Amino acid sequence: MVTDGEREDLIPPGTVLLDKYRVIRTLGVGGMGVVVLADHTTLGTPVAIKFLSPQFAAVSTAARRFVQEAKAASRISSEHIVRVFDAGTIEQFGPYIIMEYLEGRDLGRELRERGGLPIEEVVDYGAQAALALAEAHNAGVVHRDVKPTNLYVVQRSDGSAWLKVLDFGISKVVEQAPLHTTSTGAILGSALYMSPEQMRSAKNVDHRTDVYALGVSMYELLAGVHPYEAESFSELVMKVNLEPPADLLVRRPDVPADLAAALAKAYRTRPEDRYQTVAELASALVPWASPSTRHTIEAIVRVDARRRPSSLPSLPPPPASAPLVDRGTNSEQKDSIVAPLAQSATGSMHPWGRTHAETPTPQAERSTRSLLAVGVAVGVALSLATAALYMRRGHTNSSAASVSLADESLDASQAAARAEPTARAAASAVSAPPTAPSGSERAPKRAPASATPPGTAATPSSAGATASVGAPSASAAPTASSSGPGCYTQDADGSLRRCGE
């Protein structure tokens, strides 16, 4: 196994790499490799060059991923991410990444030297890290190793602190390597910030694992200690999955309770119970943010708005048969459509919410029965109106006082419209239908033409429906007409009788 001292000697100072970078000194040695400071031999520009450790470089998949992740980081457009200039492989030293050189301190070192940091300072660092992660997530990159030592602070020319996020995606190689390839301390160094789902499988994590890690990192920056304490990786896994984290207010009493609650949502056990984006986490920090930090949070929200339209879940296809519901009154029907869109941001419900195939509520069932009853009543009313018209037609047809089919019949739409207000009366009339007169009975007397003009609506009291019947014209004397089953003559008194009687 290569020791730290041996790693420093892997690339001696003065070595020229790629014919243009001269190594000045070793900047640091970590579980993944070594980082050296070099300058461009022509331009004099300082750069940091990171090399993958020999035990990882020997694994082809690890070497390939090292370079691929560097390419992914170079696509991220953010001033809060260390810039990547070049990547490749040098035969003598293995895979490398050439990055911008930063002069500053990582927050892990700040914690060791200062303990818990001021609240406003932690909120500012959290917002800057969230902006970097929002840009990364927008580019389809998940960091997987957010922790204080990967949050690097430099001082700008105006004296303000500027945070850079380092090592995008490198932890994925560590997580998939056998445990014996690195020290226990190195494993715990990342595992302390791993989400529960990342502990189970590093392959199937999404951007919410970065939300978890950022929340845990901010907890530590405030309290000075991690929310979980364990002596081994297995003990840590058990605690993270089965026990609540230590109360931040106990470890840092001056932290506002609302701020502690806002951070606690970031590192909840289940991904769907957390903030679904870093923008949501950053927005929750606004009450404790300085004016400059609020501008950063506004930028995070704008970045997230560019990503979210393409990430909204699509609605599931409707089921083959859906229950009949009253769409005008059933509010749960509306919820079944709105829920999938509204809850993709919060994740507090099932991803698709309710579906149309659910059992209808009692309110929906009552609405269904009401609609069916109205439909039946309207149908009965139309039937009774048609029957009444047929009976009248059978008793009032003559050449002098004939009633045409056009005058007797109603258009279907008109009949339905007129029958609807009296649907309930028609429904009650089903149990007592009118009795048609026998053929030997005389037809009832009709009102004179002057009393009922043609086209006036007449309402049979027994049916409770409306029918339009043209009134016969008055005649001073009986008028002969052709014989037949519908042949009637009108007497002087206005009454009708069959032809030949």
Is 335 part of the annotated catalytic residue set?
Answer: no
- Please state, in angstroms and rounded to a whole number, the distance separating the CA atoms of residues 51 and 34: 5
- How open is the CA angle 324-325-326, to the nearest 5 degrees? 135
What residues contact 229, with CB distance under 8 A and at least 6 apart? 246
3-state secondary structure of 264: helix
DSSP state letter for 204: T
Type of residue numbered 86: D
What residues contact 44, with CB distance under 8 A and at least 6 apart? none
- Please state, in angstroms and rounded to a whole number, the distance separating the CA atoms of residues 378 and 336: 32
Which residues does residue 458 pair with via DSSP β-bridges, in sequence order? Answer: 467
- Please state, in angstroms and rounded to a whole number, the distance separating the CA atoms of residues 338 and 348: 14
Q: Extract the tokens encoding 37.
A: 């400071």
Cβ proximity of 189 and 150 under 8 Å: no
What residues contact 461, with CB distance under 8 A and at least 6 apart? none
Report residue 445 CA to chain centroid gap: 72
Q: Extract the tokens encoding 91.
A: 């035969």
DSSP state letter for 320: S
- Please state, in angstroms and rounded to a whole number, the distance separating the CA atoms of residues 442 and 438: 9
Q: What sections of 224-290 are H helices per DSSP? A: 233-242, 248-251, 257-266, 278-284
Cβ proximity of 126 and 154 under 8 Å: no
| Beta strand residue intervals within 161-262, DSSP E | 161-165
**CB burial of residue 254 (10 Å; 0-12, 13-18, 19+):** exposed
List phi, psi (to 5°) of 428.
Answer: -75, -25
Choosing from 145, 167, 210, 304, the catalytic residue is 145
- Please state, in angstroms and rounded to a whole number, the distance separating the CA atoms of residues 148 and 424: 75
The neighbour count for residue 434, using CB atoms within 10 Å, is: 14
- Please state, in angstroms and rounded to a whole number, the distance separating the CA atoms of residues 349 and 269: 15
Residues designated as active site: 145
